[in-house]
Amino acid sequence: MHSAMATPCTVCHLATTEGDMTIVNLLMPKQKICFACHEKSGEARLHSSGVKGECVDCHDAHSSGRRMLLREGAPLLP
């Protein structure tokens, strides 16, 4: 479980209600959302040069049973 799950959803998301529908969006672009809490410098140390900085492509921001919150199918780095 990502430690951010212990905080309110509004740390990362903006929820708006229109009638009986609630729409949930990220507060900032997905390329930047992780770096609101995590240092960007750590990225270069842990990833290959092929990573584009879009953490949520490989990491699940909510929870995962895999190491480092990796999504199923994401490669495991040594």
What does pTM read for this prediction?
0.72
Instruction: Evaluate if residue 77 carries a pLDDT over 80.
Output: no
Indicate the pLDDT class of residue 21, thresholds 50, 70 and 90.
Answer: very high
In angstroms, the CA 7 to CA 5 distance is 5
Question: Is 58's pLDDT higher than 80?
Answer: yes
Confidence of residue 31 (pLDDT cuts 50, 70, 90): confident
State the pLDDT at residue 41.
67
Count CB neighbours of 72 within 10 A: 8
Note the helical H segments in 1-78: 41-46
pLDDT recorded at residue 13: 93
